[in-house]
Structure 1
């Protein structure tokens, strides 16, 4: 088994893509703007398992898969609606 195949089987998240086959990555400032949480809250929620994991882009850069962030927001809205019922 190649290293790529081994890496793909151990990823703790689902691979997502858009209809055109691209995966869109959001940098942290865009995620902060989109979800309304500060940097430390995002990382605290990641450690608790309540926020999508970051994708390492380089030695000092991470990003987030846009579809995973959108799914997290949808789930948060669903929890809010479920609590009000």
Structure 2
């Protein structure tokens, strides 16, 4: 079962993903997640409480889409 929550602000509704869902979607380890956040190469989490964080689903989806686009561009460049 996914750990997804909804948060509404002004005119938008955001879906929030907990760490396990982010790790599953991105297919990497917790240490890789921390390294990418620290280097600024991954969207930072939103603090929900003293020990709880979540990520905005649309930001994670955009990050994944960008990786796919970069991979596809690299593949087409290699074929030329």
CA RMSD in angstroms comes to 1.4
Does residue 56 in structure 1 map to residue 47 in structure 2?
yes
Provide the rounded CA distance (Å) in 1 between the counterparts of 2:41 and 2:21: 18
TM-score (norm 1): 0.75
Aligned with 2:56 (options 42, 65, 79):
65
Q: How does 1:3-82 map to 2 (within 5 A)?
A: 21-82=12-73
- Structure with greater strand share of residues: 2
Higher RCO (C-alpha 8 Å, min separation 6): 1
Provide the rounded CA distance (Å) in 1 between the counterparts of 2:38 and 2:12: 29
Say how many residue pairs are matched: 67
Runs of 4+ in 1 over 3 A off after TM superposition: none
TM-score (norm 2): 0.79
Q: Displacement of 1:21 after TM fit? A: 2.5
Please list the CA deviations of residues 12-68 of structure 1 after superposition, one character each: whole Å capped at 9, or x if unmatched. Answer: xxxxx8xx7211100000001111011110110011111001100000010000000
Q: 2:53 is paired with a residue of what secondary structure? A: strand
Q: 1:84 is paired with a residue of what secondary structure? A: helix
